[in-house]
Structure 1
């Protein structure tokens, strides 16, 4: 294509350098989250145990129609500023840590039979680091996404939550987040690397391969970890709930108990469809962006 430099993808080192990986990860993360944010907003609304019938949504189509008609389309984007502020740094740390740990554990060594283990360990390590940075931004995002949220500014939301609930409010869900995202990331990276090798054995630059492998790996990982995501949403939005029991929830065990008591087994699947629909295209876009930016930045340096 005119104006676009040819990328010598085959000539790139598997580990293109920490700075390049971090910059590529930041750009990919912002792209991923911004594009799929409205579907993520619907997922959050579906996972919240609402006391008002007006805030109960039965599906994606129902939620989209009701939110857009009663609150306007802008409501689906409420909280995106928090994600953009947090996603860049968090994804930079995420991909930087992933590539560094994968290199350290031998994941880039050609013919290594334990490469799958190296990618799993690298994915888990990357998540622990990035979630510590991203968790407060995710709390702010979900507080702004809920039905009739009082917040229109991420900074105002952060200040209000801190004043009313303290610093712990931003990290009450962190253990649950790690229990969800460590296996999510391990599954995602492992499936992605395996599919990439299967679909593109030559290792040549292949956007279609990155999109297919990224989308399928994200969908699988998203579906498997949905129950933990429901619990995380309850913990992160507890301060916005009018339900005394939910406002006093202390951790993952409390959240699981409430889900089971109120909705049974099906409660653990709340938001499953929008979660999978979010992660399939967003992960496809994220990996496509990451691989492209990594190659483009490496090529221009």
Structure 2
């Protein structure tokens, strides 16, 4: 081992369990730490009216939720997303690292930018297959008039009323959103890495900055697709005002076209950018933390292999 701990140069020797362990921890950190902002974003994007839509900033939205519904309300559904994020991100980072190594021949540089994007796309397909059901449960738990007492009850009710298809109704939209999101995310991350850290050593500051910029840029450009995904996942209409109506509701939006028409009819073009501030504020620190945790544990675990 060199004194520089040039762990990126040793990437081909990393075992799969290293990427999976580091990736699982990174996913847990990314989704759980900034979860309250994600709850606000979900409410702002849903077509069901709620007080958070009128809040001037996402922070005001979190405060509004806590004041009206209790201190822990912004974290409702976090157990569902945590259960999905650990295996989903374990596979996500593993597929990305292996695909990146295969496509680039384990070399680094700006000439590999498209390869980084392609590796990100492959990782996204696997990640979303695992994560989509957790996203459905999480977003239904986050809603203002959510009738569910817990995540397991939510799963049972969704399955009973709408069937297994409900957990994957937004999968196509999720892929349409996450493929460009992750392509931009990974390309931006690796681009900044190459500028600030061309030797690809372990550098906490670079991982933090590159991760934050990658997540921020990608989240901003894919917000319209995220709005569509939220409408499909929550299945809430503008007429829903209480829990009784939600308990009777089944599938309202059958697919992407239904969601697009409904968003435009209710909110116009601006509706496709609802929650963009909360989404960027959630994603930037979330992806910065995710990459920092991932690179840290990859660095620690790679040392233990030697």
TM-score by length of 1: 0.92
Give 2:100's aligned residue. Answer: 102
- Cα distance in 2 between the residues matched to 1:155 and 1:241: 26
- C-alpha deviation, 1:34, in angstroms: 1.0
Residue pair 1:136, 1:170 contacting (<8 A) in 2 also: yes
Q: Which residue of 2 aligns with 1:31?
A: 29
- Deviation string 1:9-37 (CA, Å, 9 cap, x unpaired) is 44751342322111110010001111010
Contact 1:107–1:116 (8 Å) recurs in 2? no
CA contact (8 A) 1:9 1:295 kept: no
- Where does residue 65 of structure 1 map in the other structure? 63
Shift of 1:248: 2.1
* Structure 1 residue 108: Cα displacement: 2.2
What are the Cα deviations for residues 249-290 of structure 1, in whole angstroms up to 9, with x where unaligned? 111121111111221111111000010000100110000001
Q: How does 1:119-268 map to 2 (within 5 A)?
A: 119-238=116-235, 242=239, 247-268=251-272
Distance 1:240 1:97, change over 3 A: farther
The 2-side partners of 1:111 and 1:207 are apart by 19
Cα shift readout 1:205-227 (whole Å, capped 9, x = no counterpart): 21000000000110000000000
Task: Report if the CA contact (8 A) 1:227-1:269 is conserved.
Answer: yes
Q: Give RMSD over aligned pairs.
A: 2.1
Give the distance between the partners of 1:242 and 1:149, measured in 2 at CA. 14
Contact 1:22 1:96 in 2 (8 A): yes
Query: Given that residues 109 and 194 in structure 2 are in contact (C-alpha distance below 8 angstroms), is that contact kept between their aligned partners in structure 1?
Result: no
When residues 111 and 57 of structure 1 are mapped into structure 2, their CA distance, relative to the original with a 3 A threshold, is: closer
Work out the CA distance in 1 between the residues paired with 2:176 and 2:124.
Answer: 10
Assess, with a 3 A threshold, how the Cα gap between structure 1 residues 110 and 201 changes in structure 2: closer, same or farther.
closer
Q: How many residues get paired?
A: 294
- Spell out structure 1 runs of 4+ moving beyond 6 A: none
Q: Give, in whole Å, the separation in 2 of the partners of 1:7 and 1:157.
A: 50
1:278 is matched with 282
1:3 maps to what in 2? none
**For the Cα contact (< 8 Å) 1:259–1:268, is it kept in 2?**
yes
- Mean Cα deviation higher: 180-189 or 240-249: 240-249
For residues 217 and 110 of structure 2, the distance between their equivalents in structure 1, rounded to whole angstroms, comes to: 25
